[in-house]
Amino acid sequence: MEETLNKILLKPRFKVPLKQDKDRVLETFKNQLKEKDCQYCSKMGNDHIFIDIPAEQQKIWSPQLELVVENAEEGSVLKGLFAPKPAMWTFFMFLHFITAIAFMIFLALAYANFITGKETNLWYFLMGLSVLIWFFLYFLGQIGKIKAKKQIEELKAFLINSLESLDLK
């Protein structure tokens, strides 16, 4: 798990083989997350567990830990994914999509104006601006990832403590 989390990934993923069956693991996490001293918000559905940072500590860049428990030949496998909240991820991808569409429109208009012998400077400028917006979005995502690192480490520590204290490894 350590090796995967240390890689620079957009949405870090990991797998942990467990000795217990899927139902026991899910029940154990359900009980652990319902304890009064558990500070993390969570939602469960089928084989999925979503663990969030406490509401008072949440920021726009706060991550979410999604855990999926699957049956394996011997016991089960816990698959995890650290990612931005779905609403933030969707909004961010929407901005990337709009920027890409704008670039393609500006490219088509620049080409059409070039072929007809009209002025193309405005379209070249707008194409360059859309590329700058892409870079800005990329660096904004990197800044968010850096700011979320502490909270990712907190979620990771909670997961490791849960697995160790419950003897699920």
Condensed to tens digits (0 to 9), the pLDDT of residues 42-79 reads 788 888 888 888 888 888 888 899 999 898 888 888 89
The pLDDT value recorded for residue 104 is 98
The whole-number pLDDT of residue 145 equals 83
Mean pLDDT of the chain: 85
**pLDDT more than 90, % of the chain:** 31
C-alpha 166/C-alpha 169 separation (Å) is 8
Q: Looking at the predicted structure, is the pLDDT value of residue 95 above 90?
A: yes
Handedness of CA 51, 53, 56, 60 (dihedral sign): negative
Q: Summarize the confidence of residues 123-136 as an average pLDDT.
A: 97
Q: What is the mean pLDDT of residues 108-113?
A: 97
Helix (H, G, I), strand (E, B) or coil at 15: strand
Give SS3 for 69: strand
Which run of H or of E encompasses 14?
strand 13-18
Nearest C-alpha neighbor of 40 from the set 169, 154, 164: 154
Residue 107 has pLDDT above 60, yes or no: yes
Tally of residues, the chain: 169
